[in-house]
Structures are given as C-alpha cells and as structure tokens.
Amino acid sequence: MASIPLMSSSDSHSDIVATLERDGCVVVTGALDEPTRKSLARELGPYIERADANADLDAKYRTESGAMANFYPGSTKRVTALAARSESFRSILTHPMTLAACEKILKPNCVSYQVHATSALVVGPGATEQVLHREDDGFPFFTVPRPNLVVASMWAISDFTAANGGTHLVPGSHRWVAGRRARDDEVAAAEMLAGSVLMWMGGTLHGAGANVSDGWRFGIFTSYSLGWLRQEENQYVDTPIALARSMPREVRDLLGYRMCGALGFYDPGTRP
C-alpha cells in the first residue's frame, strides 16, 4: 500500500523539503497553532457559510463528457481570494516551511516565485472522490514529467481522515511519464491532525477523497508558482491594488505586486 511520509515541524526544513522532492508529498504535524486555526475559521466562516456546496458549480462546469463535474464533485464548498478575505491567512502565505520549499524547488527556475492559488476547501458528507490531477496541468506546453513549476500545500483546519475526504495522493507520481494511471494500491489518503500541513509537488497526482463520514473536512489550499507563469487564481483581481497597499511588503510581493526579472513592470505612478 502507498503511504505519505509523516514528519514534524521540529524536523529541519531541509529534511522536510528533501522528503517532499523525493516522494512528491509529505505531511508535517504541528505546523499551525490552534489560535491561528480559530482565527482563520472565524474570518472565513461567513464566506463558507454563504458558499454553495456546489450544486451550482456542478451545473456550471459540467461538460458533455462530465469531465469538469469530476473535478468539482458536489457537497464541496470552495472559498477563494483568501489573501483579501482573511488577515490570518497571511501566516499561511508566508509560512517559513512552505517558503523554504519554494526557495529550494521553484527559485532555481525563476527570479521570484508567486502565489498561484488560494482556497478554503470544505468537503461535506456525501462528496464523491475528485478526479486525480496535477497542479501543473494548466501548463500543457511542457511534457509530463514537467520541470518544477508549482508547489502546493493543504493546511488542516479540521482533522483529515480517509473517511472524511482526506486528500488522495500518489507518492512518486511527480516522476511518472504522461499517461501512466495510478493503481488503487498506489493511492494514499492524507490522514492528519488539525494543525498539520500536507505539501506536494506540482507534478504529483492528487485529488480530494470521498467523504463517507457525517462531518465536514476543512482545509486551506495554497499553491505557489514560478514568477514568469500566469497565476491560476488572478491575484490582481482578487486583491486589488488599494487593498494590497495596506498589506505587508512580503505579502504584496508574493501576490505578484513586484517585477520578476524584466517581467511585470508598471507605471511608477501606480507603484504598489
């Protein structure tokens, strides 16, 4: 049976990142303290409350083949634009452990890396399994296995179990060639206590598990990409410049309000 390496936040960042690179995924316990988790739940609660548990999305994205419906299974709430919506989210965005992973995995391929996408992913009872996919699938120009373009993370606000929709991962699949499909025994569910973080490589096959429990699974997804790529979530729309100006420099920079080498210049009059 496949398994996901389990480490602790007291392990060195370099050991954690080396494990992530080797196996394509890693769970690290004790990464987010309880007060921060509570603040995140409080700040995002009203948005999650209002979010449709996906009946709409299902209909909106359904294609003739049903492919998008497999990507957006029902009974799942998605709240995006987290940098704009939650001040506490900044401690996830700038967490030294995930930034250490970006420094090692992304930085060799770019002048600066950036936020790629953010979302609270709340999987409810009855949700079916999400189709396995790769974070770097948005860049089909490169052939699989692609160079390192994206690093992803899922922060457990609630406990994650195999029964409540714990993320499915295929360890090692970041090195697979295109078209290789995962056997059942190659897929592992991320089981982790609240406060843990699951990190995975942009090329690692993964997807939300089915929720056969009677509780909701609450995770916060955050990914980063090379600064010269198009962000998956449009951070300039979700965090407009007036709001970005009120944020710490490090956060603004990560959102993309800076140049990446010669790319992304702006008129000095609109300086962020």
Ligand X SMILES: O=C(O)CCC(=O)C(=O)O
Among 206, 218, 244, 252, binds ligand X (CB under 6 A): 206
- Is 236 in a helix, a strand, or coil? helix
Among the residue ranges 30-38, 177-185, 206-214, 231-239, the one whose residues contact ligand X (CB under 6 A): 206-214
> How many residues line the site for ligand X (CB under 6 A)?
8
Does residue 53 belong to the site contacting ligand X (CB under 6 A)?
no
Q: Tell me phi and psi for residue 230, to 5 degrees.
A: -75, 130
Cα–Cα dist 248/266, whole Å: 19
Q: Which is nearer to ligand X, 88 or 130 (CB)?
A: 130
- Rounded least distance, CB 236 to ligand X, Å: 21
Q: Which is closer to ligand X, CB of 155 or CB of 176?
A: 155
| CA 226 vs CA 56, 74, 138, 139, 151: distances in Å | 32, 31, 13, 12, 9
* Phi, psi angle pair for 67, to nearest 5°: -60, -45
> For the chain, what is the total number of helices (H) and then of strands (E)?
10, 10
DSSP 52: -
Which CB, 167 or 231, lies closer to ligand X?
Answer: 167
Residues for the chain: how many in total? 272
- Beta carbon nearer to ligand X, 103 or 233: 233
Q: Any contact of residue 27 with ligand X (CB under 6 A)?
A: no
Residues 150-189 that bind ligand X (CB under 6 A): 154, 167
Q: Identify the three-state secondary structure at position 110.
A: coil
Please state the φ and ψ torsions of residue 79, each to the nearest 5 degrees: -120, 125
By CB under 6 A, residue 24 contacts ligand X = no
Selected binder of ligand X within 24, 124, 203, 207 (CB under 6 A): 207
Which residues from 216-245 bind ligand X, rule CB under 6 A? 219
The whole-angstrom separation of Cα 30 and Cα 215 is: 22
Residues that bind ligand X (CB under 6 A): 121, 130, 154, 167, 206-208, 219
